[in-house]
Structure formats: structure tokens, C-alpha cells
Chains A and B, each alone.
Chain A
Amino acid sequence: MKLTYYPGCSLHSTAAGYDDSTCFVCRTLGVELAELNDWNCCGASCAHATNHFLAVALPMRNLILAEQAGHDVMAPCAACYNTLKTADHAVRGRDGQAMTINADLEEIMGAKYGATIQVRHPLEVLGSWEMLREISAKVVRPLMGLRLVTYYGCLLTRPKNVVAFDNPERPTTMDKILTALGAEVKSWSYKTDCCGGALALSQTAAVATLVAKLVTEAERAGAQAIVSACPLCQVNLDTRQNQIARPMPIFYFTELMGVAFGADASGRWLQKHIIDPAPVLAALAKGE
């Protein structure tokens, strides 16, 4: 399988470990990635929160470039995935404003978006039944005894008519992947409750309350760590646990795939975490 890779701004800075681990996992599973040439910021929450034109035009420029590259485009950041998917959906649905903006972009770039490619998230790419079999086969260090909860956040599964690869409030794709690695995935009710990441700098106190609730509930569910598929959720949960007595590490699901696949580089990814995940994994090593 060949895909165009859209890392997005976070994976080039705060979420470098997500970037590396995603590329490692894809390489291991035979998914060929080629980074989108000259990609721009998708606008994230800030564009749709303040200007509709930017909210459509910024992701659409990337879609036009990806369409020229000829393959489906994969975005690991939930916010990027959501904005790209929303712009793609608007063009497919012949939304009036999106058609006008598409024409404006044709004037600026000399090409417009024809919606001939698909926007995909790594969970969607790696969570198929065929891929789950491959994943099980690649495990050299099973995550036996590691108790986790999966955290999807808000943007991966909503709005349900636009992103539509899993249930909007009870998704299971990440659960299946972590189970295939040998981990014990705990049940909880907070898989898609928002962590407030988009307002972490501006409404810090309110966001710390949201984070505290998630971590407390994860602990109550019996988890040792929370697993994320979004760089905004991960960094927010990793840095805003001030109200928590015993902070809980926050993994990217691709990091845990790398650990289970025996990636030499996994130590480097995990060193970037603010809450040290080593103790949780050390217990795992002893259990072997």
C-alpha cells in the first residue's frame, strides 16, 4: 500500500515521537509513505473558530497537492485529519461555499480539488482485519499484563457523517490494535470526551479540570496509562495533570506498536514524554 503522508505541524515539533513511530510502524507493516511536498498548516481549531474561508481553504490547498501526488493522504493528527476530511466532504457534497473557495484556489494555485482521493487516519489504515493479522504476526515483545484505556478524543470520530470510520461515541479501532499487541484494554466511558487541548493555553484552568477528570476515570477503570491517537490530546494530557497526585503516562498508540515490534528507537520517542512512561514499561519487561 502506498500513501501520501501529511504529518502536520505538531508532528514536526511537540509530537516528533508520534511522527517517528508512525513512520516506523508503517514501514514494518509494508505501508509505503511519501511526505506531501510543500504542505501547509491545516488551520486547526484556530481557523474554523474564527474564519470560515481559512477553515476550508487551508486544508484544501493540501488536498490539491495530495491529489496531484496521486495517492490517498494519511494524517496522524486528529485535528489535521478532521479539517482535511471536512474540506473533502464539503467538495463531495457540492457545498456552495466550498465550491467558491475551490474556484479561488484554482486562481491562486492553477489547480482545484476534484475529490478523487481519500483522507485517512492511521487508525483507519492500521485497524483493518487484514492489518490486525499482520500486526499480531510482527509482535516480538507482547504487551502482556499492561493495562490501558484507549482515548480517541473529539476530532477523530466526529462529526459522524463526515469522518465516519468508527462509532462517534464508542469507537473500537484502537482497542483492537492494542489487543493484538497483547495488552489488556480496560472499558471506560470517556473514550471520546474532549480534553480541551485546543484551549490549553487560553483557558488553562478549565482545561486542567477536564484533564483531571479523564485521568481520574482512567485510573478508576484500572488503567496504568492512557493511549492517544492525537498530538493535541497527548501533549495536553501529558502536561496538565497538576491536579493529579500520581500522574499517568500518555502513549501514542504507534509508540506502543513500536515497543511491541521491538523498535530500537522506541526509547528515544519515550524520552520526549513529560510524564515518564518507563516505570510502566519496566514492569512489563520483568514479567517476560
Chain B
Amino acid sequence: MATGANIAPALAFLEEIEARSGQPVSLCYQCKKCAGGCPMSFAMQPYNCDLLKMIKYGEKEAVLGSNTIWLCIGCRTCGARCPNGIDISKINDVLREMALASGKKAGEPRTAAFHQSFLATVEQFGRSYEAGTIGLFKLKTASFTQDLALGLKFVAKNKLKLLPDRIKRAGEIKRIFRKAREAVI
């Protein structure tokens, strides 16, 4: 029996992420400019630079379950500063898609709930419907009292439309969403 069999490098996850995101994760040499520039570093566990290390180690479950991927706002500062041309925002887009497809609980369920609530209104009407997004989000997260005072100010200033905008060819949007579901790997 070969004793080295247990320490074969786990490249499958790394290769999948590189192919799907188009980002050269392998080039990362841990200079940490990404974590230094990331506005959300203070809340991330692990830092985005460590996320790249974990991808190289093949730690798929820990990466997909981390809060890092859900706290990334997608501001692209990491990508603008990386000396090796790695845009972690693009990697996080792929990781979130994989995390949702896995069916496991998201590392930050509130963020996932918001994205899903927003897109549900777009699928329905063709345009985003803020009042609907907020309502769905509150239902999904049971945060009924959050921002109530602010919401009332918005209504008083006529900043929030009570009825949705609908597009004429809404059927095209529904077909786009159907295709998007089929496209999930």
C-alpha cells in the first residue's frame, strides 16, 4: 500500500473556480493588498486573502460556508489593487452561486435573502419593486421592525412607490429567468 496516497494535492476545486471565474487564483502570493483595501475586512471571517489560500488547499466546504463570500459587496477594490490581476469579487460571484446550488444554509442568510427577494420582484414585473423587495425580505428574515421609522419617512416624502412598474414584454424576462435556472451548474 502506498503511504503517500493520502497527501495528493486537491486541485479539483481550485481548477473549477479558476475556470468558472476566469481569475488566476494560482498566481496569488499572499501580498494581502486585497484584504488591506477591502472595506468589509473588519467583519469578514476569514479575510479575502485567506479565502484564496483555502481555495488552493481545496477546502470547498469551509469556503462555501464562510461569511466572507456574503459580506463581499462587489466593489472591486481587491481587483484594482491585486498585482497578479485577481478580482476576488468575480470569484465570490461564482462561490455564492455554488453555495446556493449546494442547498446548504448560506454563511450570511440575510444577504442571500435580500438578493433573492430583489430578484423575485424583477422576475415578476421586469423591474425591481422596492416595496415588494422589502416585504419579501422581512418575511424571509422575520425582521419586521427594522427601519420602520425610515420607511415612514420614505412614504411621507413620496420616495417609495407603492405600486410596481411593469414592463410590456414581461414574458421575455420570465423566459430569461427560466434559462438562468437551467444554466445553474
Contacts and interface: CB of A to CB of B under 8 A. Distances in A.
Given A154-B76, A201-B134, A202-B108, A51 B128 contact: no
B50 to A, nearest CB: 19
B94 A52 contact: yes
B122 A52 contact: no
B167 A198 contact: no
Contacts, number: 165
Interface in B95-121: 96-97, 100, 108, 110-116, 118-119
Contact of B173 (A40, A51, A192, A206): A40
A239 B39 contact: no
A44, A46, A57, A155 pick with most chain B CB within 10 angstroms? A46
Given A53-B179, A158-B76, A43 B119 contact: yes
Nearest to B109: A202
B142 to A, nearest CB: 13
Given A61-B176, A203-B108, A272-B157, A41 B79 contact: no
Nearest to A45: B74
Interface stretch (A11-19, A129-137, A258-266, A280-288): A11-19
A73 B74 CA distance: 24
Interface residues of B, number: 60
A16 to B, nearest CB: 7
Contact of B110 (A196, A203, A271): A203
Contact of A203 (B71, B160, B172, B179): B71
Contacts of B118: 44, 46
A69 B159 CA distance: 30
Contact of B126 (A41, A196, A272): A41
B93 A209 contact: no
Contacts of A13: 130, 159-161
Contacts of B93: 48-49, 52, 55
A274 B165 contact: no
A158 B127 contact: no
Contacts of B176: 53-54, 57-58, 61, 105, 108
A222 interface: no
Contacts of B158: 272
B113, B134, B173 pick with most chain A CB within 10 angstroms? B173
B146 interface: yes
A31 to B, nearest CB: 24
A210 interface: yes
A57, A153, A160, A271 pick with most chain B CB within 10 angstroms? A57
B183 interface: yes
A50 B161 contact: no
A282 B59 CA distance: 58
Interface of B: 39-40, 42-43, 71, 73-77, 79-80, 87, 92-94, 96-97, 100, 108, 110-116, 118-119, 122, 126-130, 134, 137, 146-147, 150, 153-154, 157-161, 165, 167-169, 172-173, 175-177, 179-180, 183-184
19 contacts: A43-B122, A47-B122, A49-B96, A49-B115, A50-B97, A50-B100, A50-B115, A53-B180, A57-B176, A61-B176, A108-B175, A109-B172, A158-B76, A159-B80, A199-B111, A201-B114, A203-B110, A206-B42, A239-B150
Interface of A: 9, 12-14, 16, 38-41, 43-55, 57-58, 61, 104-105, 108-109, 153-155, 158-160, 168-169, 192-194, 196-199, 201-204, 206, 209-210, 239, 271-272, 274
Q: Closest 5 CB pairs between A and B?
A: A154-B75, A194-B75, A158-B76, A202-B114, A53-B180
